[in-house]
Amino acid sequence: MNRRGFIGYVIKQRTLLLMLTPAVLFFLLFAYVPMAGIVLAFKQFNYTGGVFGSPWNGWDNFRFFFESGNAWMVTRNTALYNIAFIIVNNVLQIAAAILLFEAVGKWFRKISQTVMFLPYFISWVVVGAIAYNLFNYDVGTLNSILTAVGLEPVDVYNTPAYWPYILVLVSAWKTLGYGSVMYLAAIIGIDKEMYEAAEIDGANIFQRIYRITIPNLFPTIIILVLLAIGNIFRGDFGMFYNMVGTNGLLFSYTDVIDTFVFRTLTTSNEVGLSAAVGFYQSVLGFATILLANYAVRKYDKDHALF
């Protein structure tokens, strides 16, 4: 297109372009311009110099991050938690969706779906309050029950080893309703004639679920799981921060990249290091999402992100 054509098109479509302006400005200000701030990862930040005036320090921030041993710890935690979330959450959601569809009455389905969706609607702060209610050493419900039946109380907030189980449970709890609705929608889309044919052939209901429902869910499962794998290095900050907070005792089991970056910025005020870890996460995340998308594309072109 020649220059005249370009300007001519801008003038012709000025209304549409104006309508796009707020969103373009938004993403420029909050996404694209900050990308330039990645230079901070290679700088020894000071407030007088600011983003562009601070002196360079090469790969020092990265070297510090990797040599401190934190890099491996937070990367491992982030990935392992996300893998556990993907497996547990999806298995529960699929089981719930199948049973909601096949095994229970309409009235019961509606009520239970409403109840299961409830945790999705509350903030992570409220989840933190619930965790406090359950696990506080002195007044927590768990210890009330344990002491009532004559057992020793447990000090959950001082025992790192409990936390992987707790966090996986909390994640399953919060996403159950949401995920089972997604899978329910996919089950509803399965051709009813297959079931009728199987029934005539004498297949019992379990065989029908195993041979028809689950195989037909595979496309949905594979796509949702692959997309989740693409985000495997992105920790859910809200969840980890509200469940664990600044309780350093638990960090070896609970610190993820996002909470580490946040603390490095706000508590220890190491802007350069924090930017470096953030950049490391972005690159890692970008690579995994490209890989995941490549896998989705191989599997089913229509569902690829790009």
**104 lies in the site for another protein, by CB under 8 A:** yes
Footprint of another protein on residues 59-88 (CB under 8 A)? none
State in angstroms the smallest separation of the CB of 164 from another protein: 18
Contact range with another protein by CB under 8 A, out of 24-32, 62-70, 76-84, 159-167: 24-32
**166 lies in the site for another protein, by CB under 8 A:** no
**109 lies in the site for another protein, by CB under 8 A:** yes
**249 lies in the site for another protein, by CB under 8 A:** no
Contact range with another protein by CB under 8 A, out of 67-75, 77-85, 160-168, 185-193: 185-193
Cα–Cα dist 56/45, whole Å: 8
Contact range with another protein by CB under 8 A, out of 71-79, 81-89, 171-179, 210-218: 171-179
**235 lies in the site for another protein, by CB under 8 A:** no
**294 lies in the site for another protein, by CB under 8 A:** no
Contact range with another protein by CB under 8 A, out of 73-81, 83-91, 210-218, 268-276: 268-276
Contact range with another protein by CB under 8 A, out of 8-16, 79-87, 156-164, 210-218: 8-16
State in angstroms the smallest separation of the CB of 258 from another protein: 8
- DSSP one-letter string for the chain: --HHHHHHHHHHTHHHHHHHHHHHHHHIIIIIHHHHGGGGGGB---TTTHHHHSPB-TTHHHHHHHHTSHHHHHHHHHHHHHHHHHHHHHHHHHHHHHHHHHTS-HHHHHHHHHHHHGGGGS-HHHHHHHHHHHH-TTT-HHHHHHHHTTPPP--GGG-GGGHHHHHHHHHHHHHHHHHHHHHHHHHHTS-HHHHHHHHHTT--HHHHIIIIIHHHHHHHHHHHHHHHHHTTT---HHHHHHHHTT-GGGHHHH--HHHHHHHHHHTS--HHHHHHHHHHHHHHHHHHHHHHHHHHHHH-GGG---
Q: Which one, 177 or 250, has the nearer CB to another protein?
A: 177
**173 lies in the site for another protein, by CB under 8 A:** yes
**132 lies in the site for another protein, by CB under 8 A:** yes
Footprint of another protein on residues 197-216 (CB under 8 A)? 199, 204-206, 209
Footprint of another protein on residues 143-162 (CB under 8 A)? 143-144, 147
